[in-house]
Structure 1
């Protein structure tokens, strides 16, 4: 199944859809494969273009610059193999940070890297060393799902001075809804909701409530926060 997915989906985009690029601009299939491999490794995260360029240079022993990596990321985004979630711009501030990488489907990562990361809570409890990677993957799955909802603008909120990072911010009209993914066995009701509460308490954000996506059903003593397991969120597909 993994080989079939690699050949019929991923390599089809990388090798066959290259011709759909800008006229006169040639893309390097080897570099595109490497950039996609890196997005699988960094899914659910916001690596800088410099970081990705250094890793691609190390793997291919070729001159790879951050602008080229950015261009290839945009191509993969347009191909729908992944979604790039941009940083949120508030109060006309210049955009800061880099896009968050969310794979269109986590099975793409499993097939391309030949690496299974369990999201099922019971299976994950038997492999606690994979908890951090599973958390990034859960964030990727959440972001990819949110990007498919029509009429919803999805961004992420990078950490700023006195303002903690928020995994996702959903904008509907003039309202913003912060969303945090805490895919772990236990959730601390204060520490793990700090980013949501900080975002809600800034009136300029115009946020009526926040969402906490978890591994299992949890409750927190704050009427402004809605908690739901990732499995329940996925029912929206």
Structure 2
């Protein structure tokens, strides 16, 4: 496989794990999933460059939909290379864009298994939950997932020399690192090249959306309210042609699947009650907030309220981006005027986290009330008077909330 540009020197921690899996005898399909522009293709290319194995690479990321025959053609190319090597690696990028891909992959994978052909397969996709549907329906027991979240502060600092202020404003998109210091160009890049591309190719192209303008407006409002609790009912009051709360909840699920926006549930100790709560809106990358709202760096520095919103969003994003690998769930908690910013449940271990940015007029902490009601195993204050924000963000979330 040839690259037009040299591969970056920095390797994400996931590099070691994927390299180990591809060196093993053929057992499972390897699924590399995550949002757009987090380095999935680059990571796979870095791993393949370290292996002396023939590679067939193909991408379905084009405006027109492909069918199952596209998968079969690429697979045939890989099988043909077995005449010159004992094993071949087949990489199918953005595979969820090919209609019927899962059934085709299942048939071809099973054929190779029965025939003893060592075609190792890596599937990449930008929408993990959209991919998951095809994986669970057709490929049960045949795959394992390597999830790549948005980049952490520690990664952006190691790869691009980001300061904490850089990370809070410019977020964790490696492709945008060259635009640090040019806020207007950075915002246009995030809106046009990342957000719009994700909506058009990962959501609208793959799902029947009756009101695409509403989905976009919901995303914009979610960015404006990142770090805040707002009910669907109140959200309806700010949206035109909004339909109903069920429509908004469905669109939020699609935005979460694309790695753009999340709605955290209220922790109540009972799952059936959690889903009935108003969501706490959260973008998993602070770049989405600053770009959509149109904040300039000096506005953030001069406005303690926006500084606090960015700090809380960064802490929440750090937690949710580690949830897949960490195997934990992230919630918030509120009762009357009391609130706990984040509640993390890792198995039977419960951690309550309060974020303090030092701004005046911060709401009253609910840690004491929460402690009396739920008896968490650990209570953390991040920011003013507690764990320094930089220290919290530079460590893996499991260090703070793990078992």
Which residue does the alignment assign to 2:212? 29
CA 1:206 to 1:183, structure 2 compared with 1: closer, same or farther past 3 Å?
same
1:164 aligns with 2:164: no
CA 1:8 to 1:172, structure 2 compared with 1: closer, same or farther past 3 Å?
same
Matched position secondary structure for 1:20 = coil
Deviation at 1:31, TM superposition (A): 1.6
Which residue does the alignment assign to 1:109? 289
Is the CA contact (8 Å cut-off) linking 1:104 and 1:144 kept in structure 2?
yes
Deviation at 1:20, TM superposition (A): 1.6
Is the CA contact (8 Å cut-off) linking 1:181 and 1:212 kept in structure 2?
yes
Deviation at 1:63, TM superposition (A): 4.8
Distance 2:333 2:352 in 1: 9
Distance 1:211 1:138 in 2: 15
Deviation at 1:175, TM superposition (A): 2.0
Matched position secondary structure for 2:277 = coil
Is the CA contact (8 Å cut-off) linking 1:118 and 1:134 kept in structure 2?
no
Which residue does the alignment assign to 2:205? 19
Q: Give runs of aligned pairs for residues 66-85 of structure 1, distance below 5 A.
A: 66-85=245-264
Deviation at 1:70, TM superposition (A): 1.7
Is the CA contact (8 Å cut-off) linking 1:200 and 1:209 kept in structure 2?
no
Which residue does the alignment assign to 1:134? 307
CA 1:98 to 1:209, structure 2 compared with 1: closer, same or farther past 3 Å?
same
CA 1:157 to 1:148, structure 2 compared with 1: closer, same or farther past 3 Å?
same
Once the two structures are superposed, residues 19-74 of structure 1 have per-residue CA deviations (whole angstroms, 9 ceiling, x without a partner) of 222xxx334332222111101111101111112122111xxxx3532222222111
Once the two structures are superposed, residues 121-156 of structure 1 have per-residue CA deviations (whole angstroms, 9 ceiling, x without a partner) of xx73xx1xx222322332222111101221222111
1:198 aligns with 2:381: no
Which residue does the alignment assign to 1:236? 395
TM-score (norm 1): 0.76
Structure 1 segments, 4+ long, off by >4 Å, are 185-188
Distance 1:63 1:151 in 2: 34
Distance 1:187 1:39 in 2: 23
CA 1:68 to 1:84, structure 2 compared with 1: closer, same or farther past 3 Å?
same
Is the CA contact (8 Å cut-off) linking 1:200 and 1:208 kept in structure 2?
no
Larger radius of gyration: 2
Is the CA contact (8 Å cut-off) linking 1:85 and 1:143 kept in structure 2?
no
RMSD (Å), alpha carbons: 2.7
Deviation at 1:187, TM superposition (A): 10
Deviation at 1:91, TM superposition (A): 5.1
Is the CA contact (8 Å cut-off) linking 1:85 and 1:102 kept in structure 2?
yes
CA 1:52 to 1:187, structure 2 compared with 1: closer, same or farther past 3 Å?
closer
Can you give the 5+ residue segments of structure 2 that lack an aligned partner in the other structure? 1-185, 397-403
Distance 1:117 1:66 in 2: 35
Distance 2:342 2:251 in 1: 23
Distance 2:227 2:233 in 1: 18
Deviation at 1:236, TM superposition (A): 2.5
Distance 2:361 2:295 in 1: 27
Which 10-residue stretch deviates more, 86-95 or 48-57? 86-95
Matched position secondary structure for 2:338 = coil
Is the CA contact (8 Å cut-off) linking 2:223 and 2:261 kept in structure 1?
no
Is the CA contact (8 Å cut-off) linking 1:159 and 1:166 kept in structure 2?
no
1:177 aligns with 2:357: no
Distance 2:346 2:271 in 1: 18
CA 1:39 to 1:84, structure 2 compared with 1: closer, same or farther past 3 Å?
same
Is the CA contact (8 Å cut-off) linking 1:102 and 1:141 kept in structure 2?
no
Can you give the 5+ residue segments of structure 1 that lack an aligned partner in the other structure? 219-226
Q: Give runs of aligned pairs for residues 46-61 of structure 1, distance below 5 A.
A: 46-57=229-240
Which residue does the alignment assign to 1:42? 225
Matched position secondary structure for 2:376 = coil
Distance 1:165 1:209 in 2: 16
